[in-house]
Amino acid sequence: MIKDRLPNRIFIKLLLGFWLCSSLIIAIVGLLPLLQQSHDRAPLPPHLEKLLERYAERIIDNPEIIQNNQFRRLSHRRDFQGKPIRFYLVNDQGRVINTEKVSRGMRRFMLMAEETSKPISHQFKDELLFGPYNFAVSGKQYSLYGRFNDRHPRPWFFFFAENKLLTLTLAIGLSGLICGLLAWHLGKPLRTLRLSADALANGDLTNRVDYATTKRKDEIGQLAQAFNGMADSVENMVNSQQRLISDISHELRTPLTRLQLALALARKKGQESAETERIGYEAEQLEKMISELLELSKVKLNAHDHKRHLGLAETLGQVLDDAEFEAEQQQKELIIKIDEEIELPLYPKPLSRAIENLLRNAIRYSQSSVSIKAHKAMNIVTIEITDDGPGIDNEQDLLAIFKPFYRPQSARERESGGWGLGLAITEAAVMAHQGKITASNLAPHGLNVTIELPS
């Protein structure tokens, strides 16, 4: 109960992930101008303040410079660290009176200084501006500003503050990366769960969600653990059911054998009649049905034994010979087109039994020819068995003919006298190979059964 209260929930992860991502991007973008401003703007250094004071004193000592408009010669000096320096004299109305060419940077700086109400210095891209130094001449107030070329080293991240479009692009990319990692963190285990669920639905009862997913501390980990528990229960129930069918079939064989023995003794004593013939016929039918039930249980119980890597033509050799002989006896043609080079991991006996069932059905209901073809493409081996018989009228029956004891109401099955176990055994064998089997009608008549097996 304590673990359930810890902040490991998906809701918390999503909330914190997206909130922190957006907050981080907003903070970085918002702080860049403030960092740049705090780095570029500083209080007026003493040596620059003395420089402004010295020039102001010269003007105060010689007020005729302003009165006779001779102060322009004071605007340029080269005595500050060998760099040309320029001064700007501003009257009490905020007008620069010693030059008519005032740069845009200087105007911006004058506004900054006016807002701060104290002398400051500010580093622009390639120049340093400083001031103001306030003084009075003949009862009038003046302000003195200075500017000289200077490039100070700046932190690398100021590049983003000056290139806003690039900064916006990088911010979008960074947020996409962070959100993508979060989505991957949540999506990967969900894909693992989906694959395990698909495998379980396709008959692979041993498939489980991996250890890394089950050890997660959020709802996905809890779901993975619940899924594995459910899969264990399903596997145990299905195996128990198959074992029960197998055990019952074995037990039924004992009284059936005794019944057949009693019938043989009765016939030997000359006690044969129509009734005993009927009993003998039904006993044979029971024997066949029990044999098919045992075969179905065996295929499903042994569905996950180790496969053998064999050639398809070699594995089906005896089955194809028998089918070819049976077709010749019924004056029908069996066309075989299987590439000798096709190899795949398989269970020889279950697959041979599956193909045998399909070929015998196709030969039984075909009019003149049956074909079996196999080819390999993109790690999938496809086997197609086609006949020119009547097919199956009802489309719904095409989806259900592989279910145990299912017998569609069609001429094809009414004449068979079977129990609907042959095709169920076929499907079980195909599912044991993690493959799939489908049936479809052909035009104008006939049936096609397609098996796809992974190679």
Q: Alpha-carbon distance 433 to 203, whole Å?
A: 10
- Who's near 294: CB < 8 A, 6+ residues apart? 246, 249, 250
H/E element holding 403?
none
Q: Alpha-carbon distance 188 to 368, whole Å?
A: 53
The predicted pLDDT at position 1 comes to 40
Query: How are beta strands 308-311 and 343-346 bridged, if at all?
Result: antiparallel
The predicted pLDDT at position 22 comes to 72
Residue 360 in contact with residue 319, Cβ under 8 Å? Answer: no
Type of residue numbered 225 = Q
Type of residue numbered 445 = H
Residue 338 in contact with residue 312, Cβ under 8 Å? Answer: yes
Residue 52 in contact with residue 90, Cβ under 8 Å? Answer: no
- What does DSSP assign to residue 74? G
Residue 319 in contact with residue 359, Cβ under 8 Å? Answer: yes
The predicted pLDDT at position 412 comes to 45
The predicted pLDDT at position 449 comes to 92
One of 76, 250, 375, 445 is an active-site residue; which one?
250
Residue 121 in contact with residue 45, Cβ under 8 Å? Answer: yes
The predicted pLDDT at position 41 comes to 67
pLDDT along the chain (455 residues), means of 10: 51 71 69 58 82 85 71 55 78 83 84 84 81 87 86 58 68 76 81 87 81 84 89 83 70 75 79 77 73 68 69 90 91 90 87 88 90 90 91 78 67 49 81 86 88 89
Query: Angle 390-391-397 (CA atoms, 0-180°, nearest 5)?
Result: 140
* CA 190 to each of CA 174, 186, 213, 219, 220: distance values in angstroms, whole numbers, following the listed order: 24, 7, 9, 11, 7
3-state secondary structure labels for all residues of 121-166: EEECCCEEEEEEEEEEECCEEEEEEEEEECCCCCCCCHHHHHCHHH
Q: Alpha-carbon distance 236 to 231, whole Å?
A: 8
Q: What is the pTM of this model?
A: 0.49
Q: Alpha-carbon distance 311 to 207, whole Å?
A: 27
Q: Is 76 a known active-site residue?
A: no
